[in-house]
Structure 1
């Protein structure tokens, strides 16, 4: 299962985690609290973890999904929520 993780520096990690989960909760199965979230996208899950200084985002592909596309969709959504902060920095790293 292809997977990647990005550790995104931001002081608003919990807020962005909750916004993304609420936003996607209208279309997909989600579970979240202020420090952890999971979104069941059709191509695979997105897992989020928030601390005071970073938002950790993990994307996993199940089946024939497109990992780079999933990464871009997640980053685009989070950057829309962070428009006041400026563009967030995603340094995607493959997971073994």
Structure 2
């Protein structure tokens, strides 16, 4: 049962590109499904659902507890920042 959820909308014109890069990167080791507009990555510590539109990359994370959520956020954002090195992304998590 999931007890921690968090969402973020990251403003970028490259949302589809970053969604696909993240999913392709993790597909080598994890269960991943994606297309140009939506994706899902199943980590051992939780799940990451992604949606891309013309103005933002939307992240929706779920994890069993706060400790796993903190780790999941770190893993996802660390990789996203690496792929988006040409721009500075602002991430404002909305925890539920």
Spell out structure 1 runs of 4+ moving beyond 6 A. Answer: none
Residues 65, 41 of structure 1: CA spacing in aligned structure 2 closer, same or farther, 3 A cutoff?
farther
TM-score relative to the length of structure 1: 0.92
The range that moved more, 68-77 or 12-21, is 68-77
Give unpaired runs (5+ residues) of structure 1. none
Residues 71, 63 of structure 1: CA spacing in aligned structure 2 closer, same or farther, 3 A cutoff?
closer
Give unpaired runs (5+ residues) of structure 2. none
1:44–1:65 Cα contact (<8 Å) kept: no
Instruction: State the alpha-carbon separation in 1 of the partners of residues 14 and 66 from structure 2.
Output: 33
Provide the residue aligned with 1:35 in structure 2: 37
Shift of 1:56: 0.3
Aligned pairs (5 A) from 1:83-94: 83-85=85-87, 87-94=88-95
| SS of residue paired to 2:8 | strand
Output the aligned Cα RMSD: 1.3
TM-score relative to the length of structure 2: 0.92
Number of residue-to-residue matches in the alignment: 94
| SS of residue paired to 1:72 | helix
